[in-house]
Amino acid sequence: MLRVSRLSAAHGAVQAVREVDLDVPKGSLVALIGSNGVGKTTTMNSIAGLHRPASGTVELDGTDITGWTCHKVVRAGVALVAEGRRVAPPLTVEENLGLATYSRRSNKADFRAQYGRVLDLFPRLAERRGQLAGMLSGGEQQMLAVGRALMTNPDVLLLDEPSMGLAPSIVDVLFETITTLHETGSTILLVEQNAELALAVSDQVYVMQRGRIVASGEPEEIRGRDEVMTALFG
């Protein structure tokens, strides 16, 4: 569904991503893990059209979407939940969810159907649909950020560190939902610094170090590679 080939990206003189290859098959949950500053966000932003890659390609279901603007990428079917849960604080939960529909072609019926699905998936958002996003807890804001991405009914969902800064109990709730999405056929690329969490839920794992993919495989394979586990967990 999503294929990244030899992707390189820089921030000025900083070569953040070097010849990264990723394959995210339809219906799979693929994790990209690695410690601080290795290039995970730059990779995600390059896929989502928020950062222009220096070279390499991004293909969505066979279409080359490299270098497309983020609006076009969303319309093509890729939704990013950016690092640091960006919701609109002065708008209500419902209004935040409604914003997403401006970014992908949709009509009123689609909106109601998708809104219903998102509220079913996140009962807490259903309870708080009239509240201002700025008044929600961190975990609820992250749910809202994920819900807003889902409102575009994406073919591929990109999640950049959804667990960051959240209490463990909220992380559990969030990851149960991510698992539900996976089980119901969603295609997901998940970036996580919490490698243990990523290994527990994913079908395939890519390990990144200093801008490069240094290992990939099923979680069991990765767990069996001592040098990779040492690099991840010390």
Q: Contact between 46 and Mg ion (CB under 5 A)? A: no
CB closer to ligand ATP, 106 vs 193: 193
What is the nearest approach in angstroms of Mg ion to the Cβ of residue 78?
A: 18
Residue type (1 letter), 132: L
Residue 39 touching ligand ATP (CB under 6 A): yes
As given in the structure block, the two tokens for residue 87 are 């919701």
Count of residues that bind ligand ATP according to CB under 6 A: 14
Q: With contact defined as beta carbons under 8 Å apart, do 167 and 182 qualify?
A: no
The sign of the CA dihedral 194, 37, 160, 203 is negative
Do the bridges between strand 2-11 and strand 156-160 make them parallel or antiparallel, or are there none, so unpaired?
unpaired
3-state DSSP assignment of residue 96: helix
Which residues contact residue 15 at a Cβ distance below 8 angstroms, ignoring those fewer than 6 apart? Answer: 8, 211
Q: Does 204 bind Mg ion (CB under 5 A)?
A: no
Question: Which CB, 53 or 118, lies closer to Mg ion?
Answer: 53
Please choose, out of 10-18, 149-157, 165-173, 176-184, the segment that lies near ligand ATP by the rule CB under 6 A: 10-18
One of 8, 41, 66, 216 touching Mg ion (CB under 5 A): 41
Q: Are 74 and 151 in contact (CB under 8 A)?
A: no
Residue 42 interacting partner from Mg ion, ligand ATP, none (CB closer than 5 to 8 Å by kind): ligand ATP
Q: Does 202 bind Mg ion (CB under 5 A)?
A: no
**Token reading at 29:** 């949950």
Question: Residue 103: left (phi > 0), alpha (psi -120 to 50), or beta?
Answer: alpha
* Residue among 28, 179, 193, 209 that touches ligand ATP (CB under 6 A): 193
Nearer to Mg ion, 37 or 123 (CB): 37
Our finding on whether 89 is near ligand ATP (CB under 6 A) is no
- Is residue 118 within 8 Å of residue 97, measured between CB atoms? yes
Q: Which residues of the shown chain bind Mg ion in the complex (CB under 5 A)? A: 40-41, 83
Q: Which residues of the shown chain bind ligand ATP in the complex (CB under 6 A)? A: 11-12, 14, 16, 34, 36-42, 83, 193
